[in-house]
Structure 1
């Protein structure tokens, strides 16, 4: 048939990998410990312990929690340990850092354990523009894993992919 439109992408061996498909479901929360510091910068042990004791941590039940300090306070290691103790058995996971650090920490074991054998020697496009907060580090991790497995790795959409890696022949 003359003038027939052929979808070359659908007919190609190109495989799409979408990091959003692996996004762990669950609530995310952030705790800034500066709220328990004197004037937001000085940790007074007795006051800090009392503040933790009087905080209802059950609101973080099954949450992924990022803990950090938004001020330039110097926080001793034991303070983070005390906070972890309060969240243990309540939160699903606790990470020191920002929500981006939390998302990165959630993706590390997921990407590490992925079976990528179905991508062997094939062109792979890592889908961009996710609706969920997929961290840049996750894109780097999947690129590292696909390197040497896939024939090529691209980023974006099939209609406008950016070449990232191509296996040498």
Structure 2
């Protein structure tokens, strides 16, 4: 066993395959998952395992540059929105909207991995766009100037910015 690591072998393996801009979609219990998707089912009973528990672990395991969710989260479920803000403060990630229809119709088909929870938390479907470590790329040793997006993410991390949905 590996201490302080994901024990689920399929999930750990799927996360290890992620590259820059790959999408991990964490869904509630009722989300319609496409038949061809790389589905990792963690939901086995009402509320277990919850989307937020999964997101807390993923926050420690992968770099994320963008967090997408329905605008209803901010507008109709402020507790979930606040928790997402707390989770991704200082991560450098930006919040973006994606309608429920877009999550189901487009992002679910684009996602490299879909993690299905047992959550009955309204609008708790969250797409994470994977990133690279913004401090490991474009180092002083390489002599290559960093891209503006890396500079901006580094600054958001340094400033411990709380992400907001515009």
Q: TM class by shorter-chain length?
A: under 0.3
Q: Report the TM-score, using the length of structure 1 for normalisation.
A: 0.27
Instruction: Give the structure with higher Rg (CA).
Output: 1
Q: Report the TM-score, using the length of structure 2 for normalisation.
A: 0.27
